[in-house]
Amino acid sequence: MIPNRRLSQKSSFTTFLLIVAVSVILSFSGISINLTNNINAQAQEQQQVEQTQVNKLWETPANLKDPESVAYESKQQVLFVSNINGQPDQKDQNGFISKVSPSNGSIIELNWITTLNAPKGIAISNDNSILYVADITDLVQIDIDSGKIIKRFNAPGSSFLNDVVADNQGNIYVSDTDTNTIYKLDTNLGNNTSSSDIQAWLQNPQLNGPNGLHIDNNKNKLIVVSFGPLSKPGGGIEVIDMKNKTITSLGEQGTTSPFGGLDGIESDTSNTHYYVTDNPAGKVYVVNADETGYQTLVDLHTQGAADLGSIPGQSTIIIPLMQDNKLVAYKLVE
């Protein structure tokens, strides 16, 4: 009986060791599979960013004056360009709006709208009838067909209005980089709209010098690229829930999303990728909207990459080069 008991114990012990060994092998296999899957996933994410490349299409003559923002108007098939033409915070009436051909970059009309101060961000109304321009402390409303200024909306407490964007209801949002504020103009009031109807919509230090604006209407999110303090550029990308106004950062700054003196933002038609300019670095980044990574799309080798525009459906981005007094256009190739 004793020998049989020992044999039974040995068999049990051997079986136990075998089970442990198999478990360890399976465990390491699982780790290996997980590691492999993670590596593959990261490679796919990186590859997704790297697939976007650019071909240069054209550049304008260097006849613009500190061009800051550009927007495409599909009805007239024209690019509108804001020209600061002086100091960005000086009310000198030297600023103007130009019209540029989107097909070859020729300047159609250099001084289309004049007597502005230091115009920066611009946006076009959803019906293509109105051009909105951020001009230091005013949001300027311009009738596109007549080429005349209709109204000036003074934003209370503002000091450095920067970018402009419209939502799908036609409301206008304007960033103030100096006061960490987003203003809102409710255009649904029609002809009753007055200067008092542009009000601070959100003010929060987390905005960190809000500059470029983009609205993802499908997700009801306002995407903000931040310049940081004007005296010391350095900001990331913030995402605002437009319903409850909560703010979250997009990815990890400097790792999965860019950090710098960020200026303008555009997106592809699916809001999968954002195209973001870094003004002092002179670069355009392509950023995954799902927070998985970013990379340099274009190194312009010059400072002053400002508020870029895009031509929907043509995979084209247009970047104002403030210090070079011109625009440059690139075709996105994926």
- Per-residue model confidence (pLDDT) at position 313: 87
In this prediction the pTM is: 0.84
- Per-residue model confidence (pLDDT) at position 23: 42
Judged by DSSP in three states, 218 sits in coil
Judged by DSSP in three states, 21 sits in helix
Alpha-carbon Rg for the chain in angstroms: 26
> Is domain 52-333 annotated with CATH 2.120.10.30?
yes
> H helices of the chain, where?
2-50
- Per-residue model confidence (pLDDT) at position 126: 94
- Per-residue model confidence (pLDDT) at position 230: 84
Question: 289 pairs with which residues across the strands?
Answer: none
Amino acid at 13: F
Average pLDDT score over the chain: 87
- Which tens digits make up the pLDDT trace of 140-155? 999 999 999 999 999 9
Domain assignments of the chain as residue spans, ordered by start: 1-50, 52-333
For residue 31 the two structure tokens come to 């780790």
Question: 103 pairs with which residues across the strands?
Answer: none
Mean pLDDT by 10 residues, the chain (334 residues): 37 40 39 37 43 90 98 97 97 98 98 98 96 98 97 97 96 97 88 70 98 95 96 95 97 96 96 97 97 97 97 95 98 88
Report how far residue 161's alpha carbon sits from residue 40's, in angstroms, rounded to the nearest whole number.
Answer: 44
- Per-residue model confidence (pLDDT) at position 144: 98
- Which tens digits make up the pLDDT trace of 79-136? 999 999 999 999 999 999 999 999 999 999 999 999 999 999 999 999 999 999 999 9
Q: What is the DSSP letter of 190?
A: G
Q: Is the dihedral of CA 180, 80, 76, 143 positive or negative?
A: positive
- Per-residue model confidence (pLDDT) at position 51: 63
Show Cβ contacts of residue 44 under 8 Å, excluding neighbours closer than 6 positions.
Answer: none
- Per-residue model confidence (pLDDT) at position 193: 53
114 burial type by CB count under 10 A (0-12 exposed, 13-18 middle, 19+ buried): middle
Yes or no: say if 201 and 182 are a contact pair by the CB < 8 Å rule: yes
Amino acid at 185: L
